[in-house]
Amino acid sequence: MLGGLLVPAVINGLALGAIYALTALGLTLIYGVLHIINFAHGSLLMLALYAALFLYTLGGVDPYVAILVLMPAFFAAGYVLQRLVIQPAWHGRDENVLLVTLGLAIVIDNLALWLWTSTTRSIDSRYAFEVVDLGVAFIPIAKLVGFFGALAFGALLWALMTFTDLGKAIRAVAREREGARLVGVRVEHIYAMTFGIGTAMVAAAACLLLPTFYVTPQVGYAFVLVAFTTVVLGGMGSFPGALFAGLLLGVVEALCGLYLGESLGQIGIFVVFILMVLFRPTGLFGARA
């Protein structure tokens, strides 16, 4: 009886996966260059969701328009965080950076709790219930926008990395830190730029996610584990990999949810991940990264 739901489930999985991909894009960039697992990623997503929410409720700014404001703002925040908080604690020990980002996550989450309380908030934008009829299912407009938006931002990031001097410098640092320094690249600046760009991508993801989701101080955790998984699955540091892996995981989750039930279906993502890592540890696109 579930056969008729297969196509809509796949479509929905792709829409969900696009959001996973977008959150993972920032994470994979940061991992690829700084070699750190950023535990604060989910918290930054939460912060961006609140920012978009307040822009809408207090300023009447549409979340999609808010991207124009929030991406630069979060870029700056990411840059400053890396420069002033993360870099000074590095001391050449990557495990310290891990804990610093964990500490940041604790601070950000609880600051949000203190400032905005744990009330669930969401926006009821005018297109919240507008859908496109695909015959087999209705697709909310907001999800379609999220899907194509994620693809667009993925392409944008790829173009940035491939065609600009900044992109070249970032790639040089990722590949050979000391070599890049020798040829005059300001490595610390590049690190902070990378963290800033990664954070800006989170802001974009938040703006695309908000119309179909809700905000609480804990909301980041709903996405952060999947984002980690997406990064590794795609091959650490690979953008096409993260994009593809995000979409794949969205579909895997939707299908497992359909056939195993949403509760047991959660393991789908992790089982795919484990098998993948064991049998192709470089990730889907790892060799190219």
Task: Please say which residue, 76 or 262, places its beta carbon nearer to another protein.
Answer: 262
C-alpha distances in Å from residue 40, one per residue of 78, 99, 148, 180, 273: 11, 10, 26, 27, 22
Q: Interface with another protein includes 59 (CB under 8 A)? A: no
The residue ranges of DSSP E strands in the chain, in sequence order, are 131-133, 138-140
Which 2-41 positions form the footprint of another protein (CB under 8 A)? 2, 4-5, 8-9, 12, 16, 31, 35-37
Q: What minimum distance in Å lies between the beta carbon of 235 and another protein?
A: 10
Residues 6 or more apart whose Cβ sits within 8 Å of residue 254: 9, 10, 12, 13, 16
CB of 236: closest distance to another protein in angstroms? 6
Q: Which stretch binds another protein (CB under 8 A): 45-53, 191-199, 200-208, 214-222?
A: 214-222
SS3 label, residue 271? helix
Binding segment (CB under 8 A) for another protein, from list 67-75, 155-163, 173-181, 222-230? 222-230
List the one residue out of 250, 251, 232 whose CA is nearest residue 241: 232
Q: Which residues pair with 121 in a beta bridge?
A: 215
Token readout for 176 is 């050979």
Looking at 59, 72, 88, 179, which residue binds another protein (CB under 8 A)? 88
* Number of residues forming the site for another protein (CB under 8 A): 79
Best CA proximity match to 201, nearest among 71, 82, 9, 89: 71
Contact stretch for another protein (CB under 8 A) within 48-56, 168-176, 180-188, 229-237: 229-237
Of the ranges 60-68, 96-104, 163-171, 189-197, which one interacts with another protein (CB under 8 A)? Answer: 96-104
Residue 225 in the binding site for another protein (CB under 8 A): yes
Q: Which one of 159, 271, 287, 288 is in contact with another protein (CB under 8 A)?
A: 271
Which range of residues in 45-53, 66-74, 106-114, 174-182 is near another protein by CB under 8 A? Answer: 106-114
The length of the chain in residues reads 289
The 138-177 site mask, x for binding another protein (CB under 8 A), equals x-x-------------------------------------
As a dihedral over the C-alpha atoms of residue 226, residue 245, residue 82, residue 208, rounded to 10 degrees, the angle is -80
Report the residue number, 40 or 71, with the smaller CB distance to another protein.
Answer: 40
Does 288 contact another protein by CB under 8 A?
A: no
The minimum distance between CB 250 and another protein, in angstroms, equals: 9
Selected from 105, 157, 192, 203, the binder of another protein by CB under 8 A is: 105
Q: At 131, is the secondary structure helix, strand, or coil?
A: strand
Please name the residues in contact with 11: beta carbons below 8 A apart, sequence gap of 6 or more: 134, 136, 137, 139
Nearest to 24 by CA among 191, 269, 190: 269
Rounded Cα distance between 101 and 108, Å, is 10
What are φ and ψ of residue 67, in 5° steps? Answer: -55, -40
Q: 34 vs 70, which CB is nearer to another protein?
A: 34
Token pair belonging to 153: 């931002």
* 137 part of the interface to another protein, by CB under 8 A: yes
Out of 158, 177, 189, 213, point to the residue binding another protein (CB under 8 A): 213
